[in-house]
Structure 1
Amino acid sequence: MDREFLISKWLNNDLNDQELEAFKALEDYDDLMKLTHSLQAFKADDYDTSKELERTLSAIRSSKKQTSWLKSFMRIAAILVICFGIYHYTTTLDTSVSTTMAQKTTISLPDASSVTLNAKSSIVFNKKSWKHERDIRLEGEAFFKVAKGETFNVITKSGTVTVYGTQFNVKQRKNYFEVICYEGLVGVTHNSQETKLKPGDSFLIIDGKLIAKEKESQPSPSWLHNESTFKSLPYKEVLAEFERQYNVNITTKNIDTKQLFSGSFAHNNLDVALQSITLPLQVTYSKVNNTIILTRE
């Protein structure tokens, strides 16, 4: 039914049952009720239906404008809140970089320091808070070249490495934690105890035990040059690194994987690399799809 027709009949108290239901269904019904309660406070001597209708409609239109303005304002405010939230979330979000099997990558940090990730490794840091909180979370292995005058912490599951403008390598794998300082000074905190490393010094924990190592004579880790080198390390660590560099699975038969191995393998030729890690121990190998089986007769 026509809206103004219903309102006119309502003002004249002349609505039938069907019209009353239609009147109650009007979107202005609540506003009209508020107005009628206000009008009950007084009684005009001469009641002009046409004038009262126009007055009522004018009040409703004014109320609708205010409501419409308020709704528009609330929409704009909601959009601003959402935009601010998105901006705050994206600008404070951590930066995460990871590598897959047989992959390496180099990342520049906000202070011009750089990190090179070895295969199957990841780092997480926050660019926005970098000026006052230089923390990097590392899983796997990475080589760091720190800008002079800058310091930051490399946090791993096994310990924290604090650096003071230097070059160093951190390797944190399952039951394996190693830090080698190539330049400058490194502080390694493990089990609440800090050890300071100078160039050539190493800190190595295997299966919870501190392992003594010879002075490092190379200027950088060999894996940066696509070669993995081992000095008296358990054979299982060699095989685990081989799997990461070539994206293969290795199974062993009649082999003591705790025996120590010294040697190296290249990252660019699978067969040559296999010979490098099997011939010194008189181990044979066979390949089945993506699995390599090492056997000692």
Structure 2
Amino acid sequence: MERETLISKWLNNDLNDQELEAFKALEDYDDLVKLNEGLLAFKADDYNTSEELDTVLSTIRSNKKSSTQWFKPLMRVAAILAVCFGLYYYTTTLDTTISTEFAQKTTIDLPDASSVSLNAKSLLVFNKKDWKHNREVELDGEAFFKVAKGSSFKVKTKTGFVTVYGTQFNVKHWKNYFEVICYEGLVGVTYNSQETKLNPGDSFLIIDGKIIAKEKENRSSPSWLNNESTFKSLPYKTVITEFERQYGVDITTLNIDTEQLFTGSFAHDNIDVALKSITLPLRVTYSKTNNTIILKRE
């Protein structure tokens, strides 16, 4: 049975069991259901579109009334159809937005079976309807991607964008911090209109607008997936910022050079142990009151 016939019978609640299964198998079944639900808000209490349309056609055939008499109900039908198509277009072109809060992580399955693990306080945006023709996401925060084979896949950030030639990589984009690490396959990072290719273990890091050289990555996946943040010769301010994201706290520093380099890690499941991990190596003391932490060097 043709698609239009199925939709028409569905709108009239006239589908048998076999036709109902065929209707549910339509590619845009979910969108049609959303459209129908949305239209309920626009339906007039005592207005029947079918009856009005029959009245208009009958009037035209009998030619007993002037054109001005049947023009008004015809416009009412046209207005309802315009609302239908407008609402359908609106509901099927909206972007999907996924976000995490402090101390929260989540994993998203994209329409092509690719997956994205989103770190704390991050935002991911993509368009489900246009996914077959445009595999592209926008990221603000940190995410680990496992990309299924297919057409070009891109990750856009405000600093640069990543073109995927392989399957597994991590992107971190915060204020004044942009990092891409390739774990499998091949990844291209475009910054200031210049592309850099990354093989497994390669990194691309920019801090405060400066490109920073890094050693080869020897892990098979980012440490944050296992609830641990790891740093190697990175400014202490990046450690503090990440700590705030993972534990939802505010940190104030006193007499501490936050540009000094830090190598170490902290766990995401025990704040007291984590605090010791980021303070003892630098001989820093701390005090904690509710969600406020003060780091101090005597």
TM-score (norm. length: structure 1): 0.77
How far does residue 149 in structure 1 lie from its aligned partner after superposition? 3.6
Match of 2:79 in 1: 78
Q: 1:116 to 1:105 in 2, by over 3 A?
A: same
Q: 1:150 to 1:217 in 2, by over 3 A?
A: farther
* Pairing 1:57-68 to 2, within 5 Å after superposition: 63=65
* Contact 2:135–2:151 under 8 Å retained in 1: no
Q: Distance in 2 between matches of 1:72 and 1:247?
A: 59
How far does residue 173 in structure 1 lie from its aligned partner after superposition? 0.6
Q: Distance in 2 between matches of 1:160 and 1:144?
A: 14
Q: Distance in 1 between matches of 2:253 and 2:282?
A: 13
Match of 1:296 in 2: 297
How far does residue 266 in structure 1 lie from its aligned partner after superposition? 0.6
* Pairing 1:45-124 to 2, within 5 Å after superposition: 63=65, 69-124=70-125
SS in 1 for 2:220: coil
SS in 1 for 2:276: helix
- Residue deviations 1:139-194, cap 9 Å, x none? 01100000124431101011010002310000011111000000000000001110
How far does residue 272 in structure 1 lie from its aligned partner after superposition? 0.7
Letter in 2 for 1:244: R
Letter in 1 for 2:165: Y
Q: Distance in 2 between matches of 1:293 and 1:267?
A: 19
SS in 2 for 1:132: coil
Q: Whose Rg is larger?
A: 1
How far does residue 68 in structure 1 lie from its aligned partner after superposition? 5.5
Structure 1 gap ranges (5+): 1-61
- Residue deviations 1:174-231, cap 9 Å, x none? 1110000000000000011100000000000111111111110000000011110000
**Is 1:235 the counterpart of 2:236 in the alignment?**
yes
Q: Distance in 2 between matches of 1:279 and 1:76?
A: 74
Match of 1:204 in 2: 205
- Residue deviations 1:37-59, cap 9 Å, x none? xxxxxxxxxxxxxxxxxxxxxxx
* RMSD (Å) for aligned C-alpha atoms: 1.3
Match of 2:184 in 1: 183
How far does residue 67 in structure 1 lie from its aligned partner after superposition? 5.1
- In terms of mean alpha carbon deviation, does 123-132 or 241-250 score higher? 123-132
- Residue deviations 1:236-276, cap 9 Å, x none? 00000000000000000000000000111111111111111
- In terms of mean alpha carbon deviation, does 70-79 or 177-186 score higher? 70-79
How far does residue 83 in structure 1 lie from its aligned partner after superposition? 1.1
Match of 1:223 in 2: 224
Which consecutive aligned stretches of 4+ in structure 1 deviate over 2 angstroms post-superposition? 65-72, 148-151
**Is 1:257 the counterpart of 2:255 in the alignment?**
no
SS in 1 for 2:201: coil
- In terms of mean alpha carbon deviation, does 233-242 or 93-102 score higher? 93-102
TM-score (norm. length: structure 2): 0.76
Match of 2:138 in 1: 137
* Contact 1:122–1:139 under 8 Å retained in 2: yes
Give me the identity figure in percent. 76
**Is 1:267 the counterpart of 2:268 in the alignment?**
yes
Q: Distance in 1 between matches of 2:228 and 2:255?
A: 27
Structure 2 gap ranges (5+): 1-63
Letter in 2 for 1:234: P
Match of 1:161 in 2: 162
Letter in 2 for 1:155: K
SS in 1 for 2:237: helix
- In terms of mean alpha carbon deviation, does 187-196 or 125-134 score higher? 125-134
SS in 2 for 1:263: strand
How far does residue 70 in structure 1 lie from its aligned partner after superposition? 2.8
